[in-house]
Amino acid sequence: MNTEARFRDGLFASLPIVMGYLPIAFSFGVAAARAGLAPGEAFALSLIIYAGASQFLALALFTSGAPVLVAAFTLIAMNLRHVLYGPTLMRAAGPKATTRRAWAWAFGLTDEVFGQALGTLTRGGTFSEAYMFGLGLAAYSAWLTGTLLGAIAGGGALEGWPSLSAGLGFMLPALFLALLLSLLSRRQVPVIVVAGVVTVLATLAISPTSGILLGMLAGAGAGLVRK
Amino acid sequence: MTWQLFVMALLAGAANWAFRALPILLRRERTATPGWVERSLAAIGPAAIATLCVASLLPMLSSDLLALAPVIGGTLAVVGTYLARPSVVLATLAGAVVHGGMVWLLG
């Protein structure tokens, strides 16, 4: 791609993300319905938060009755990694890249959108805000559409389809595992091992919510002490 | 939507926007970031993903081999697909398809 990437180039590049987001968002919509949320409420969560794992955790925290600030802090801590995406992307885009409309398109900088945009730049593509809008809007639309469809279908939608329900239920662990593989490097192994072990121990000893929070903090601590 | 859920969503959404947009909007000539900040920031991402991966797999583990087989199959499908073609979306879909397929096959 030698000319400036266009809006429709971004739309085209988003196709694999759209295919992945639709079923994951559908399963979020179903999970939200099971948790007692109305379709509009599930849609609002996707519209406002727009972060898959955080939204599933938000449901878990909400239904477990966790205090609002503790729940919000957990969700915020979970997405702190996104702080690194913008600078990394703009470094790859080069010094001439404009960011006048980043206040709008950057909200769509999810793990997958970031990965796709960075991959395009790494393969010799050029950066443009129009491309980022195309990439981000299609992914966001798929996320919202999937959520709404899942929430309307309702918590009992998959009762007659146990294998489909099982497949959708495995979507989230599969997504995390794939994301973990995408950022796996020798340098990150101690962080990953510490986070994983602490999560297991704290989950067994205290609770799943504590396991998640303590696992993240322990992993971040392991990163702090490494050379 | 209860006010608790709405407040939680607003705080998380505002933080998401800030994490994604502000580092781009506030970008200036390279300024020195303290080493410990950079190290801990760099570690939070992998730590969060590893934690979530473990936390989401833990409830699926079982001593019943028949129940465990789809989890193992799905996990191997994710790893195998990612190694063959490093795409998060493809690997995720492959894992879900294999897991669901094995549940169907094993009844």
Residues 21-60 of B with CB under 8 A from A: 21-25, 27, 36, 39-60
Asked if B10 and A69 count as a contact pair (C-beta separation under 8 A), the reply is no
Query: pLDDT averaged over chain B?
Result: 86
* Candidate from B13, B25, B100 with C-beta closest to A163: B100
Residue B106 touches partner A, C-beta closer than 8 Å? no
Residues 113-132 of A with CB under 8 A from B: 115
Count of residues in chain A: 227
Look at residue B24 and tell me whether its pLDDT is greater than 80: yes
pLDDT of res. B68: 93
pLDDT of res. A212: 79
Q: Tokens 């294998």 label which residue?
A: A163
Same structural domain, B76 and B106: yes
Same structural domain, B27 and B17: yes
pLDDT of res. B2: 81
Tens of pLDDT, residue by residue over A154-209, are 877 777 788 888 887 788 788 789 878 877 888 889 999 999 999 999 999 998 77
CB contact under 8 A, A176 and B52: yes
CB contact under 8 A, B9 and A211: no
Same structural domain, B7 and B25: yes
The ipTM, to two decimals, is 0.80
CB contact under 8 A, B100 and A106: no
Same structural domain, B22 and B45: no
SS3 B27: coil
Stretch A137-141: mean pLDDT, rounded? 96
* Candidate from A82, A84, A99 with C-beta closest to B27: A99
Chosen domain end from B57, B73, B95: B57
pLDDT of res. B32: 56
Same structural domain, B41 and B67: no
Tens of pLDDT, residue by residue over A30-64, are 889 988 899 999 999 999 999 987 898 888 778 77
Same structural domain, B67 and B106: yes
Tens of pLDDT, residue by residue over B53-89, are 898 899 898 888 888 999 999 999 999 999 998 887 7
pLDDT of res. B1: 63
pLDDT of res. B69: 95
Say how many domains are in chain B: 3
Asked if B59 and A82 count as a contact pair (C-beta separation under 8 A), the reply is no
Domain that holds residue B103: 62-107
Concatenated DSSP letters for A27-72?
HHHHHHHHTT--HHHHHHHHHHT--HHHHHHHHHHHHHT--HHHHH
pLDDT of res. A125: 82
Residue A32 touches partner B, C-beta closer than 8 Å? no
Which of residues A41 and A220 earns the better pLDDT score? A41
Residue B97 binned pLDDT confidence (cut-offs 50, 70, 90): very high
pLDDT of res. A1: 44
Same structural domain, B92 and B66: yes
Stretch B81-101: mean pLDDT, rounded? 89
Tens of pLDDT, residue by residue over A101-127, are 999 999 999 988 887 887 778 768 889
Same structural domain, B25 and B37: no
C-alpha–C-alpha distance, residues A4 and A194, integer Å: 43
Reduce the secondary structure of B66-100 to three states and give it as a string.
Answer: HHHHHHHHHHHHHHHHHHHCCCHHHHHHHHHHHHH
Same structural domain, B68 and B105: yes
Stretch A122-149: mean pLDDT, rounded? 92
B33 φ/ψ sector (left φ>0, alpha ψ -120 to 50, else beta)? beta
* Candidate from A99, A167, A194 with C-beta closest to B25: A99
Write down the domain spans for chain A. 7-168, 184-227
Same structural domain, B39 and B27: no
- Token pair for A88: 């990394």
CB contact under 8 A, A167 and B99: yes
